[in-house]
Structure 1
Amino acid sequence: MTSVHEAEPSAPAPGHVPREPVRPSAEPMSWAMLSRALAVPLILGLVCFLPAVIAAQPGSGVRDNAYWLQLVLACYAGARLATMILSTRRRLLQGIFWMFVYIAMGVAPFAQAVIGQTPTPVVGPRGDLVTAVALVLVGCAAFDLGALLANRRPLRRRAAARFGTGPATVHRGRLRVLVLLAFAASGYYVMKVGGPAVFFTSRQEISASVAASGVVTEGSQVGPAFLKAFGTVPALLGLLFCTRRLVTSRRARRSPSTVLAWGALLVLNVIVNNPVSNARYWFLTVLVSLLFTAFPSSPAMYRSVLALGVVGALVVFPYADRFRYDGDGYRPVESSSVFEPLATKDYDQTVMFANAITWVDTRGHGYGRQLAGSALFFVPRSVWDGKPEDTGVRVGQWMGMRMTNLSSPLWAEFWVDFGAPGMAGAFALVGYAAARTDRRYARAVSRDGPGPGSVAAVAVPLLAGYAFILLRGPLLQSVGKLAVAALCLLLVTSFRERGERRPR
């Protein structure tokens, strides 16, 4: 009689296909070792070194409560960003949130406090700026609390699974419809602005071409917004879905039709979604979503996006508006320090939050009116008399600014309508939703996920890239493309138990 350790294996059942043994990947182990090696210098660099270098810059800034609160916020966001980078889990939405907070609400406003310059003037008392920085800290803490509560709850199967349906997957036939819609909508967009060559001139030329196309009505920007949204978003989503199939399915890579469709969509996106004719934040959405879709299980790519994103935002982003205007209207940034552009342009989120606080003091809270205007963006003003304008535009008009295309960060949007308690509660919900979505994304791209047809594996990277636009605001300008993306996702989503299994 053989012992337990020497027992012969039982014969396989008829028709049984033996599975290959799963070999552990060396990448997680190597990245774990690399994470330990990078932990100390990364944390010191984000939390200590960079704030110290900024604090040592010459300037006329006043070192009052706003200065010290801004330093605390920069260090807090730096520590949380380092945690996201060093985490063994890929937390796309949470990582992008903390990268935005560290750059736009932490480091850049701290540089402004040191140098003594702001992109837009602070029209209210200094105390409103102190309140704004303190409320940003409250919102970040509420976001962390919501994420903590989400991580303590176990993930459960969706309710659809209990009724015999599967996870959200892409319907093949409707995906073809989306691809055809992308070519038709983008083709119409290209035709309206005068041909592909216009997309490689400047954003100013694109705006002028759209204005001359006849889709602009007096006092309304709904027509141009829908033209740009339908001309760019379906093309991007079609490319993301095809990229997902190519990187996860051998059958798709061997299919000439899939490869040709991907190549055609790539050319289409080079035309309508290039960095010359689009805003920097939108091109950032395109780049981040494409990288996260093409490398869904790569810790290296996830960490590189978060780490190099900080460097790019500080060094490249302020100079990346070269194609906003034509040659006569372009004014290059002249500075003697890498931190001066942070104080003179782009990063006006904190000071605009302070101005929004002052504006609310003169008129009271909206109690949901501004958010209702953003949610019902598609309702024309001829139907809704007194429809709210962008929060940034309203505050800019109240300030007497000639250029009212100003930011309104998510903190300001919540504060304007609901005050401090509502803002804290809203950010707790945002943190909870972000953490739950990150966990569902990790399940979607795992071996047990739906495979090449997973909708979450494309939708979450797109949302992560678009989070920059949502966090910067104003919301009324942000929800148009997001709504078009949601319609496209609804078009291709199916919950039936069908689709291609991931090859082993």
Structure 2
Amino acid sequence: MAGPGRPPRRPPPPHRLGGPAEGERVAIEVPRRAVLSRPLSVPLIATVVGALPLAVAAQPGTGLRDTTFWLQLVVACYAGVRLCAMVLSGRRRLVQGAFWLFGYLAMGIAPLAQSVLGRDPTPVLGPREDTQLATALVLCGMVAFDVGALLARQRPAGRERRRPATVHRGRLACLVVFAYAASGLLIVQLGGPAVFFSSRQEISASLAEATGAPGGPGAEGGGEAGSALLRGFGTVPAMLALLFLTRWLVTSRAARHRPAVLLPWAGLLVINAIVNNPISNPRYWFLTVMFALLFTVFPRSSVMYRAALALGLAVALLVFPFTDRFRYDDEGRRPLETDSVLEPLVVKDYDQLNMFANTITFAGDGHGHSYGEQLAGAALFFVPRGVWGDKPEDTGFLVGGWMGTDSANLSSPLWAELWLDFGPLGMTLAFVGIGYLSARTDRRYVRRTLDDPSPGNVLAVVVPVLAGYSFILLRGSLLQASGRIGIAVLCLALVTTFRHHPRAELR
């Protein structure tokens, strides 16, 4: 019974056939759709798909308006359509969004700008037909990725048959201790925190001096492997430990009142600011750290997901090329000349299509396809060359050596890696599989973050890391990217459990 002055409660309408009675109000539940409003979505599509590619194509330059140029324009527009679909989607598709962001920038807009200006950031030794074939294969890979994602949608989402992976509290403490020790060793070996805020050139020199690595880039030997291990173990465990503790604090009010969680988290924040800052690390690795941290802090925010893709596009076009100043010291630093508005896109960071064309020329020069050998070398990166005498070299360095350069900073995009190993048909089928797995991973991530908001949800941390690191995997080479993947797998195996431990769960 309602009290005096208080309106009577209206019970929920009973479920019955025939609809509501006359005059009765019924609350219709409308499913929420995380899409942009029309005033924002229309300018986004018009800019990304139409205005930006056409503006680049209309710029004056000495480049040829041939078949390759028009193919590059098609690639840019196609990737732009798919990127807009990711931004406007009602679901958070982290891995697919990262793929299309990279595809639009590195394989679409940047090669189009280079073609317009008639300038290549990396010399292309073969004929124009090889660049045309590389562009066509890039488009085939993108379409195959879409086909794989479409096939994943046809499979209904089944229920988890086994207990999902969770974080074991005791093992997480071990990871935190190990992260402190490994990062501390890296800082001490390099001479203190100050060197991490100088330049990447200074970091490389300090690593070579600490581990006895050969001075030449790409040189082999135990010192070179020691440098990679020291840097990998000094950066990856610290990042993952920070992400797991951040997930714990974001999802548990009790954890935010525990000094035993807050103090290690604060210390890891400082350590990551030292060892994973954008000055001493490759920009793609720093992008991985920030991408993973962003979606760990905001695991269920569709607004943050859309903002990350949209702002990532703007930052990559306007800011990313100018951060090259951190690569060298004051003597070796080269200022970026901007005679054209397209000049920031004609830099070595966007040499992926050029290196794909060089890979095609490299194979046609008598080297042929490797039939899985390069992929096996990347998967078995931990096998020393003393045991595996014919272990394949890094693909970018291999093609670069054929080109006559000893630079170790040449990319080898995933398209080139798969084409060199398996040919055009194998590359296409591989991208179908990659698209399928990416869509399934994104789908499971959305379901698990909605159904399981617990602090120990491993997938809620792994997928943002994978999405961020996919920029490195797509840029290549795979052998260079494999080391940190191996270390991350070891760290995840340490903290993950599939058993129910009430006392060991994060609360």
Matches within 5 A, 1:15-26: none
Does 2:384 match 1:383?
no
Q: Describe the shift of the 1:156–1:334 C-alpha distance in structure 2 as closer, same or farther (beyond 3 A).
A: same
Pair 1:6–1:348, CA change in 2 (3 A): closer
Deviations 1:322-358 (A, max 9, x none): 2111111111101133311212331000011011011
Specify the SS of the correspondent of 2:116. helix
Which of residues 119, 126, 130 is equivalent to 2:128?
Answer: 126
Q: Which residue of 2 aligns with 1:86?
A: 88
In structure 1, the residue matched to 2:165 is: 168
Q: Report the equivalent of 1:411.
A: 415
Which residue matches 1:189?
A: 186
Work out whether residues 169 and 505 of structure 2, in 8 Å CA contact, stay in contact via their aligned partners in 1: no
Partner of 1:19: none
More displaced 10-residue stretch of structure 1: 63-72 or 194-203: 194-203
User: Cα distance 1:344–1:266, how it changes in 2: closer, same or farther (>3 A)?
Assistant: closer
Alignment of 1:401-440 (within 5 A): 401-440=405-444
Tell me the TM-score normalized by structure 1: 0.91
Judge conservation of contact 2:190–2:207 (CA < 8 Å) in 1: yes
Alignment length, in residue pairs?
Answer: 478
What SS class does the counterpart of residue 278 from structure 2 fall into? coil
Q: Report the equivalent of 1:98.
A: 100
Alpha-carbon distance, 1:215 to partner: 4.9
User: Which residue of 1 is the match for residue 335 of structure 2?
Assistant: 332
* 2:194 is the counterpart of 1:206: no
- The amino acid that maps onto 1:289 is A
Give unpaired runs (5+ residues) of structure 1.
10-22
Q: CA deviation at 1:25?
A: 12
What corresponds to 2:49 in structure 1? Answer: 47
**Partner residue in 2 for 1:16:** none
The answer to whether the 8 Å contact 2:413/2:474 transfers is yes
> 1:291-310, aligned counterparts within 5 Å?
291-310=294-313
Stretch moving more, 77-86 or 334-343: 334-343
Q: Contact 1:169–1:450 at 8 Å: present in 2 too?
A: no
Q: For residue 109 of structure 1, what is the aligned residue in structure 2?
A: 111
Q: Whole-Å Cα distance in 1 between the matches of residues 405 and 63 of structure 2?
A: 23
Query: 2:158 is matched with which residue: 156, 159, 163?
Result: 156
Q: Which residue of 1 aligns with 2:368?
A: 364
- CA distance in 2 between counterparts of 1:152 and 1:375 reads 30
Q: CA deviation at 1:403?
A: 2.4
Task: Kindly state the Cα deviation for residue 27 of structure 1 after the two structures are TM-superposed.
Answer: 12
Other-structure match for 1:312: 315
Deviation at 1:441, TM superposition (A): 0.7
Identity %, equivalent residues: 60
Q: Do the aligned residues in 2 keep the contact of 1:451 with 1:501 (CA within 8 Å)?
A: no
- Seen in structure 2, the aligned counterparts of structure 1 residues 405 and 25 have a Cα distance that, compared at 3 Å, is farther
SS at match of 2:467: helix
CA contact (8 A) 2:251 2:453 kept: no
Q: CA RMSD in A?
A: 2.2
Equivalent residue for 1:135?
Answer: 137
Distance 2:202 2:234 in 1: 16
Paired position in structure 1 for 2:59: 57
Aligned-pair distance for 1:451?
A: 1.3
SS at match of 1:282: helix
Q: Provide the C-alpha distance between the structure 1 equivalents of 2:316 and 2:242, rounded to a whole number of angstroms.
A: 26
Task: List per-residue Cα deviations over 1:357-387 (Å, max 9, x = no partner).
Answer: 1111121110011111111111111221121
Match of 1:67 in 2: 69
1:256 positional shift: 1.7
- For residue 457 of structure 2, what is the aligned residue in structure 1? 454
Q: Is the 8 A contact 1:315 1:338 kept in 2?
A: no
Q: Which amino acid aligns with 2:353?
A: T
What is the distance in 2 between the residues matched to 1:7 and 1:198?
A: 66
Query: Secondary structure of the residue that 1:320 maps to in structure 2?
Result: helix
User: What's 1:13 paired with?
Assistant: none
Distance 1:335 1:171 in 2: 52
Instruction: Find the residue that maps to 1:445 and give its secondary structure.
Output: helix
Deviation at 1:402, TM superposition (A): 4.0
Displacement after TM superposition at 1:35 (Å): 3.4
Please give the alpha-carbon distance, in whole angstroms, between the structure 1 residues aligned to 2:372 and 2:296. Answer: 35
Q: 1:223 is matched with which residue? A: 226
| Separation in 1, partners of 2:478, 2:280 | 22
TM-score by length of 2: 0.91
Match of 1:474 in 2: 477
What amino acid maps onto 2:335 in structure 1?
Answer: P
SS in 1 for 2:60: coil
Deviation at 1:100, TM superposition (A): 0.2
Select the residue among 224, 234, 238 that pairs with 1:235. Answer: 238
